[in-house]
Amino acid sequence: KQVSPIPPPTTNKHLVKKTVSTKLRAIGAACSTPLANRQVEVEKKDSFMYYVKKTLEISACHKLTLSYDSKCCNMHGHNWIITIHCKSRELNAEGMVADFTEVKERIHGQLDHANLNEVVPFNPTAENMARWICDQIPHCYRVDVQESEGNTATYEKDDDED
C-alpha cells in the first residue's frame, strides 16, 4: 500500500493512491480484464484524527439511590481516577485538540472534595458520572471512571453523536 503523508492540520481532504491488493488481483484473474498493477484513486475526506487523553484523580463522596439494599446507599467516598479522551480532525488556533488545563478546571474544579449528590441532578453512579463528564468537555468521545481498583465504568459516544 502506498499512502500519502498526513496533510497539515488545515487540510481536510486529500487523495490516497492505493495499489490494488492481492485479493483484488485474484478477483481480476478470474475476470476478462486483469486488475494487476492498476492504481485506484480514492478520495478520503478527513482521513486523519488527533487523539488526546487527560487523567485526573478526584476525591469525592456520594450515596446511591438503589431499588435494593446496598451499602452504597450510605454516604461513602472514592479516590476516583477519571480518564477523559478527546479527538478532533482539526487542531484549534493554539495547535491543540483540548487544553489540558481547561479540562482539569472544568472537571476537577467541580468534583474534587465534593459531595456528588450536591453537584449533579441525577443518581451519581460511575456510569452516569462518565456520561456527564463527557458532555462537559468539547471533543470528548469517551470517559473512563474508576471508583476503585476493580470497578470502572466507561461511557463512549457513538460516532454519529459528534
User: How far apart (Å, rounded) are the C-alpha atoms in residues 107 and 144?
Assistant: 13
Q: Cell 472534595 belongs to which residue? A: 113
Residue 160's pLDDT band (cuts 50, 70, 90) = low
Reported as a single tens digit per residue, the pLDDT across 89-116 is: 999 999 999 999 999 999 999 999 999 9
Answer whether residue 26 shows pLDDT above 80.
no
Q: Answer whether 16's CB lies under 8 Å from 48's CB.
A: no
Higher pLDDT: 38 or 94? It is 94
Per-residue pLDDT tens digits for 122-157: 999 999 999 999 999 999 999 999 999 999 999 999
Q: What is the pLDDT of residue 5?
A: 47
Res 118 pLDDT > 60: yes
**How high is the pLDDT of residue 16?**
34
Q: What is the pLDDT of residue 46?
A: 53
